[in-house]
Structure 1
Amino acid sequence: MGKHLHVDNARSIARYCPRFKNLIVWEWMEFTISSARFVDDDSDSETEEEETSAGDFLMALRRNTLERFEISRDSHFKPSMVQGLVAHSQSMRVLKLPKFRSELVVELLKSNPLQSLEAVHFFLGYEKRAEIAQPFGQWLGACQNLRRIETWLYHDELLMLANALQHPIPSLEVLIVQQNYEDDPRIIDAFYRGVSRQRNLQELTLNTEMTSNKSVFMWCLFHLKKLRKLNLRRVSSQLTLPDIGTLTSNFPDLTWLGLCVTPVVDEIWDYIVAPKLRYLHLVGIGVLHAQPVLDFIHRLGEQNRGFTLKLKFSTFAELYTTVSDEDHRAIAYALFSHLDGRLLPYREML
């Protein structure tokens, strides 16, 4: 808890736990109480509290020893936290920061890019500050050892990422955009072109709008030959069946695929071409029949052993599935008997 982030505690950690590397904070306040003296006598003395900025806790640890720093989504902090992070600029590998407001970004931009940084997760930032998104993206893109970038409802994230991905980041393997409402086609196209430059990507999750022209979207993904996991959220609802067939056949090593299919058509099973696929999640609106699914399962082979299928189809509300209990049992049995696989509950989220 943030209330325990006292400078005295940090000094004790630095002294007695020299290998301390990971810090996960469930509740962060800008000020934490470092000590309190309670006077219990007849005088009019009041309780005295000595306060120190929370950033001082990070600076009081052994410098350049902290490797992982996470804060829960309900926490709040101010620029002093950034100053504390900079004290570990040569060791920091993982950052997970909620509500990383524009003033914090400005403070971070005063420091050099973190060359030790391997994974970042920015989420829950609602300000639109395009003038900051560009330099922040360039700063992030200069962290040349990044392996994972994840965002969720974060500021101008597509504009920021378009700048971060302007040049190849050879180490980048995972890019996840969980939720985004950007509707400027120029920014969306620039983001996808940036994605196309990341030729070493192995995992890609996109919950964005479609590019100005679908051919731009397809062209950008075709460059990512090393993809093993592809989760196309709402953007895939605009793909035709031939598009899906062309796309899936382009990734010979694909083992995980998530698609949103609207409307649901039984023919989709003929267009999912991925010889090494081990996990498939389809979400859509419409009626799903069991027989095409069973035919698909029986076309799979030994390379698909352990196959996991997750289906979520509804006619109106997500609470009601159009896959009958009987069909569920038939599909689940076919998966288990043919591939030692399983069918996950349809109500689980994508």
Structure 2
Amino acid sequence: MSRAPKPQNDEDLPRADQAPGAPHPRETAQIFGQDQAEQDFLTAFNSDRLHHGWLLTGPQGIGKATLAWRIARFLLATPPAEDGLFGAPPPVTSLSIDPDHPVSHRIHALAEPGLAPITRSYNDKGKLRDQIVVDDIRKLNRFFGLSATEGGRRVVIVDAADDMNTSAANALLKMLEEPPARTTILLISHQPSRLLPTIRSRCRTLRLGPLSPEDMQSALAQAGADLPENTEHLAALAAGSVGAALRLLNLGGLKIYAELIQILDTMPRLDRQRAMALAEAAAQRGAAEKFELLLTLVEVSLARLARTGATGKPPLPEAANGESAVLARLAADPQRGRAWADLSAEATARARHGQAVNLDPASLVLDTVFKMQDTASR
């Protein structure tokens, strides 16, 4: 007997549009480092030529979803302006809406009738799908059929549009081609190249960039994260992404990367005992997230080695104590940099393939480390 589908708004369940350990974007009071994107939207709004489709792009974890919910709150709380006795009203200068506004309260409670968030849903066995399916998009037909709320606006947030399967993407395309009146569709995309070209062409793009170390610290403080002593290491590994930074903090990523640099420092001889310990930690029961993070950090270390060889100097800031000296020794010239770049492509493909076919995590880690040792010895 199959279980009933789990409701997506149940706070006890993981949400596809919420990073582990972080508040949901609808609960994030302030956005940092994205003033230009916000201003670009306000310019369009004030010109009274607001496009019906918006594509919010940029690396994962930099605030795209926070901006989307901020735009939704603003649109639903701001009725269309009408010329008064003294002409047009002054232009709006901020997307900020009072937290005590009724729309703010309804959005926080996921009870705003003018807003439809679309994410990966749960199937009939209570498992979170790995794609946004066509039924998720078809729900919008009923949403569009309801009476308009305050101000006559409706807002749709699709997070992430990259997750749509082909049928879902085609269904959304029809809505973008013939959008209902006073409807704004906000598509969040980490990799817009994965979207249908026809979807991209029917949207106006808002490009968001990585956060500066200062903005990232402010965003992490807002999320209630405990910052490490050396925030430069976190900034280097997170590459301006608050989502990546939270993942690193929650899974001990700074310590894992520091250990990886220490193992690299023993090459080409290689401290096999330390390498075995790293591999065994990745293979522990329930350590799937840490294993995935380790693979990502190996890719980061190889990329930074390749960059060191290509540019003649290690990237700054350091991502671990003593990293610069290790990178400079192992990638002392462009030829060695190319060797590390070649290994990066090969090792990443091998590790991801092994992961896909459920090979032993410890074996995958050791295989990668031995190939790093081989490259270091050449």
Instruction: Please tell me the TM-score bracket, short chain as reference.
Output: under 0.3
TM-score by length of 2: 0.25
Larger fraction in strand: 1
Q: Whose helix proportion is higher, 1 or 2?
A: 2
Give the structure-1-normalised TM-score: 0.26
Structure with higher RCO (Cα < 8 A, 6+ apart):
2
